[in-house]
Amino acid sequence: MIDFELPPALKMVKEFTHGVGRDTFRPIARKYDEEEHTTAEELAFLGPIMTQRSADRRKKQRDQEKAKDEPKKPKAETEDRIGATMTACVGSEEFCWGDSGLLLAIPGSGLGNAAIAAVATPEQDERFGGKFAAMAITEPGSGSDSGSISTTAVLDGDEWVINGEKIFVTDGKQCEVVVVWATVDRSAGKAGIKSFVVEKDRPGVTVTKLEHKLGIRASDTASIVFEDVRIPKDNILGSPEVKTKTEGFKGVMKTFDNTRPMVAAMALGVSRAALEFTKEKLEEEGFLFRYGLTKHQLSAIEREVLMMEAELEAMRLLIWRAAWMGDNGRANALEASMSKAKAGRMGSEISRRCVALLGPMGYSREWLVEKWARDCKINDIYEGTQQVQQLVVARNLLGYSRAELK
């Protein structure tokens, strides 16, 4: 029998993060939407909590990796575990119900932290695991096609020398370290792309621009130039060896299998906030929402709201499935892209429809609904656009290669 209830440990995560979203994020959401690029000092207390939670998750992951090599009884078909990805998805939904920009502004919550947690050695984990890490992938000439990265990393003795420019780096201003995607061998194509941890205070690292954005304005988005930046040889994440045509690149891309469900959960949280608020305001005006009737017995507004609630549930189930598969060692590239494609598209559509249903007040800055509509759109763009996710899904379902379907 399938159980859709959260276990006690995740219920605690849900309650804690919802409380933070309600009591800390919501009251200051408008302030930091208007004061773009200003550091939210109110979030300082969350830094140590997030760092400790991340450390606990990494320790659990290391213990599980060690346990793989030990003799054990056959695993029961129903046995599973709740890991870092599911925990992050549940928490992200509730945080973003409060405010998605402020979630991204929490020290230690950067995308780079997910990459470090996924592939860092124990020594690297000790050095970088507790730092606020951004991820630098996109370049002026390389957008959705991550394989066309031109930033270079050249080994010079015991140091890597990094040169290149990265744009749209989430938390590029606030972060302490940056996980930089760079090529160690351009002739090798994707196989030559590796990721490196670069400390922000190293000579040659320059934040050149802060973007003015439509949404998630509490979180800065920066352009960063790396000019002859020297980092220790062991700052590379994973092996420096250039292997088969795509093997190395697949290892780098695997980070997305864990983070795309989290981005989907962010879209779920924002759109859920918009729909719950909209329903509340409509009920105040006398609208009734009746369940258990056929759609022909419902009013137009009832049908629309109930269908949007159903879409939220579909989004959540896709997210949880992708997260559960990743936490239990199952290949989830298809499911991760399905969850992000669904949540990115429907989250944006639901939040926009909420603005429309509330009329002029939905468009007014007096309420947060217009902000949620602006914030939600980014989840359909970053970490792979809607079109990229559909390509990934189609290739996996139809068995086509990248060359055959693009």
Where in the sequence numbering do the catalytic residues fall? Answer: 383
Question: In degrees, to the nearest 5, what angle opens at C-alpha 40 toward C-alphas 34 and 43?
Answer: 140
Query: Which residues have a Cβ under 8 Å from the Cβ of 109 and sit 6 or more positions away?
Result: 50, 103, 132
**Cβ burial 252-287 (10 Å sphere, 16+ → b, else e):** bbbbbbbbbbbbbbbbbbbbbbbbebbbebbeeeee
Query: Is 152 strand, coil or helix?
Result: strand
In DSSP terms, 181 is beta-bridged to 195
Q: Is 93 exposed, middle or buried (0-12, 13-18, 19+ CB in 10 A)?
A: buried
Nearest to 261 by CA among 108, 15, 90, 50: 90
The 8-class DSSP code of residue 25 comes to: I
| C-beta of residue 154 within 8 angstroms of C-beta of residue 184 | yes
3-state helix, strand, coil in the chain (%, to 5): 55, 15, 30
CA distances from 281 to 257, 357, 362 (A): 37, 10, 10
Task: Name the phi and psi angles at 156, rounded to 5.
Answer: -130, 95
